[in-house]
Amino acid sequence: MTKTRATVLIVDDDPAIRHGLALRLRHAGYTSTAVSTGAQAIAACAAERPNVVILDVTLPDTSGYLVCEQIRGQGHHPEPAVVFLTGTPHIGMDTSTRDRLIDAVGGHYFLKKPYDPERLIALVDSITGQTRHHLPAVSALMAFTPIAAWPAQQRHPSGDGCRTAKPPQES
């Protein structure tokens, strides 16, 4: 059995996504809890204090952005890293406005559905400081993916209306 490392809260109204991510995270050695609403997410964060929250932007009872603000308002230290996940285009919102909103509510990363689950696990590994030798480095994975998976200050426009990952500069 794999040693349990960090805890991850999965918040998505799609049961297939919740179940699939929970299985992959468990296989990668993480403990996870999966919920389907914003209210459940806020309660789970208060009770379980996860290291990472994978948070769908569009939930049945509220916006993932509002959930993120409320999680930040709980005052836990350290605060969990928040990975926004969405399949819904932000109608009427350009990418710089979306990025400012994500930064304002305290989000760290933004992944667009559909996404590669192994890349999401690699991102969680990177966030939690975990390493698994069978995966390439996260910077190599993110450099070639059409998803915005770096903090806003490291994102750059790709010219196609999406954001692409810009790997951090080597020191």
Residue 26 has pLDDT above 90, yes or no: yes
Query: Degrees (nearest 5) of the Cα angle 34, 32, 88?
Result: 45
What does the domain layout of the chain look like in residue ranges? 7-164
pLDDT band at 152 (very low <50, low <70, confident <90, very high): very low
Enclosing H/E stretch for 53 = strand 52-56
Given its phi and psi angles, is residue 152 left (phi above 0), alpha (psi -120 to 50 degrees) or beta? alpha
Mean pLDDT of the chain: 75
Q: Is the pTM for the entire model greater than 0.75?
A: no
CATH class of the domain comprising 7-164 = alpha beta
Q: Are 5 and 25 in contact (CB under 8 A)?
A: no
111-150 tens-digit pLDDT: 888 888 899 999 999 999 876 544 444 333 333 333 344 3
